[in-house]
C-alpha cells in the first residue's frame, strides 16, 4: 500500500482563501449600472457608493476603499504609460532625424 501525504487543513484553507479573493475581485471589477441623468440608481436610497448606502456595513466600506484605490492605480498607470510613450516617441524621432 502506498502512503498518502497528509494534506491537513492546508487544502481547505487554500480553498477558502481562494474563494474570498475571487469574491473580492468580482466585487471590485463588476461594473455598476449606469442610470439615466437625474435618475436615482437602482438600490441607492441615501447616496452613491457602497459605503454611503450602508454606513454600518464594514464590507461595503472595504469594497469602497478597494474600488477607490483601484481607480487611483489605474489613473497612475495611464499617466505613467503616457509619459513613457512620449519619451520613447521623442527618442525615436530624434534617432530617425539623424
User: Does some domain include residue 17?
Assistant: no
User: Does some domain include residue 78?
Assistant: yes
Write the pLDDT tens digit of every residue in 11-33.
778 888 888 888 888 877 777 66
* Residue where the block lists cell 459605503: 51
Domain that holds residue 91: 22-27+48-98
pLDDT at residue 92 tops 80: yes
Domain count, the chain: 1
How far from 33 is each of 37, 40, 41, 44, CA to CA, in Å?
12, 11, 7, 11
Residues whose CB falls within 8 Å of the CB of residue 39, separated by 6 or more in sequence, listed in order:
none
C-alpha cell at 47: 447616496
User: Does some domain include residue 42?
Assistant: no
User: Does some domain include residue 82?
Assistant: yes
User: Does some domain include residue 37?
Assistant: no
Write the pLDDT tens digit of every residue in 42-70.
544 444 454 455 556 778 888 888 888 88
User: Does some domain include residue 6?
Assistant: no
User: Does some domain include residue 34?
Assistant: no
Amino acid at each position: 500500500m502506498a502512503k498518502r501525504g497528509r494534506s491537513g487543513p492546508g487544502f481547505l484553507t487554500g480553498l477558502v482563501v481562494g474563494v474570498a479573493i475571487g469574491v473580492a475581485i468580482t466585487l471590485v471589477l463588476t461594473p455598476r449600472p449606469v442610470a439615466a441623468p437625474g435618475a436615482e440608481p437602482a438600490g441607492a436610497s441615501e447616496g452613491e457608493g457602497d459605503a454611503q448606502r450602508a454606513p454600518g456595513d464594514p464590507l461595503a466600506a472595504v469594497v469602497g476603499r478597494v474600488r477607490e484605490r483601484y481607480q487611483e492605480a489605474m489613473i497612475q498607470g495611464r499617466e505613467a504609460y503616457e509619459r513613457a510613450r512620449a519619451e520613447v516617441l521623442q527618442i525615436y524621432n530624434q534617432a530617425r532625424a539623424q
